[in-house]
Structures are given as C-alpha cells and as structure tokens.
Structure 1
Amino acid sequence: MKRYCLALDLKDDPDLISEYEDYHRSIWPEIKASIKASGILDMEIYRIGNRLFMIMETDDKFSFDTKAKMDEANPKVQEWEQLMWKYQQALPGTKPGEKWQLMDKIFKL
C-alpha cells in the first residue's frame, strides 16, 4: 500500500466553501466508483481556512498517469472536475490548469 498527501486551495469565500463541503458530504456515485477503480483504497480531505489537505491510501499498482487517463475518458468525472473549479484555486506557483499538488514527506516518527 502507498500513501500520498496532496494540497489545494479553495476560493476564500465562506459561501463557496460551504457549498464545496456539501458536495463532498455526498459525492456523486460515479465519482466514488471512479476513485475506487483507479486503485485508491481510502481518501480523506481536511480543511483549515481555505487550504485543503488530501490523504490517499492506494494499492501498489496505483499511478497518477493511469488515473489521469481514466478521468479524461470519463464524462462524469470531467463534469465533476469542471464543477469543482468553481470552488477551487491553484496553489501559488502551480502551472495553469493544475489542481491538487503532491506534497513531499519531510518527517516520519
């Protein structure tokens, strides 16, 4: 099993943040199925202010490239991602169109 941690910001608007959280309390079934089909075994998202932190536990075969290809071929995932851009904003220093940024582990107990 592998673990990945990623970060992303939301637009700093309390109403938009509330809507974003509402969507994530009951994600579309097609989105959940897509996440599982890609090899993601567990996923959690945490928020402080407008900063999001995602933890993903994956099987050993998981690949971000494969997931991206699967997502590109899935119209429902594309619809979800387009909707989520209403609420999300890229972290400073990211390339145009990039969302979640993979974080580097700097400490382990």
Structure 2
Amino acid sequence: MQHFALALDLKNDPALIEEYEAYHREVWPEVIAAIRHVGILEMKIFRLNQRMFMQMTTTDDYDPVVAQKYLSNDAKSKEWEQLMDRFQQRLPGYPLDQKWIEMDCCFDLSEQGV
C-alpha cells in the first residue's frame, strides 16, 4: 500500500463550504467507482476552516499520473471535478491547473523504532 496526503483550500464562504460538504455526504456512485478503479482503497478529507487535507491509501501499483489521466477522461468524474471547482481555490504559489497539492511526509511514527 501507498499513502498520500494532499492539501487544497475552499473559497472562504460559509454557504459554499456547507454546499461542498453536502455534496460530499452523497458523492455520485460513478465517481466512487472510478476512484476505486484507479487503485484508491481509502480516501478521507478533513477540513479546518477553508483548508482541506486529503488522506489516501492506495494499491502498491497506484500511479497518480495514470489515475489522473483516467479520471480526467471519465465523463462523470470530469463532471464532478467541474462542479467541485466552483467551491475550490488553488493554494498560493501553485499553478492554476493544480488543485490538490501533494504534501511531503516529515514524520512517520512507524519509522521511529521505539
């Protein structure tokens, strides 16, 4: 298994944030199927104010580039991403075509040997 952590901001608007969370309480089944198809085994999204943190567990052979290509060509996933874009804003300092930005791991308890 592989583990990924990604960050993204939502627009600073309480009504939009509530609507975003409402959509995520009922993600379209086709989108869930596509996520699983690319090798994502588990996905959790956490929020602090407008900052989002996504934690993903994937198969060993998961490739983010291949997954992104598949999802961007899947009609329902593409429709979902276009809808979600209404709520999201890019992190400062990153290209406008990048939404979720992968975070570096700076501590792993399992590697401490204590």
Distance in 1 (alpha carbons) for counterparts of 2:14 and 2:52? 14
Deviation per CA, 1:10-38: give whole Å up to 9, x if none: 00000000000000011000110010000
Please state how far the C-alpha of 1:72 moved relative to its aligned partner. Answer: 2.0
Identity %: 49
Highest CA radius of gyration, 1 or 2? 2
Which residue identity is paired with 1:38?
A: V
Runs of 4+ in 1 over 3 A off after TM superposition: none
Q: Which residue of 1 aligns with 2:8?
A: 8
Secondary structure of the residue that 1:98 maps to in structure 2?
coil
- 1:34 matched to 2:72? The reply is no
Distance in 2 (alpha carbons) for counterparts of 1:90 and 1:53? 13
Please state how far the C-alpha of 1:50 moved relative to its aligned partner. Answer: 0.1
Distance in 2 (alpha carbons) for counterparts of 1:53 and 1:35? 17
Runs of 5+ consecutive residues of structure 1 not aligned to the other structure: none
Deviation per CA, 1:60-86: give whole Å up to 9, x if none: 010111111101221111110000010
Q: Which residue of 2 aligns with 1:20?
A: 20
Paired residue total: 109
Q: Structure 2-normalised TM-score?
A: 0.93
Map 1:28-107 onto structure 2 (within 5 A): 28-107=28-107
Distance in 1 (alpha carbons) for counterparts of 2:97 and 2:37? 24
Distance in 1 (alpha carbons) for counterparts of 2:6 and 2:59? 17
Q: Which residue of 2 aligns with 1:108?
A: 108
Distance in 2 (alpha carbons) for counterparts of 1:97 and 1:108? 30
Q: Structure 1-normalised TM-score?
A: 0.97
Root-mean-square deviation over aligned CA pairs:
0.6
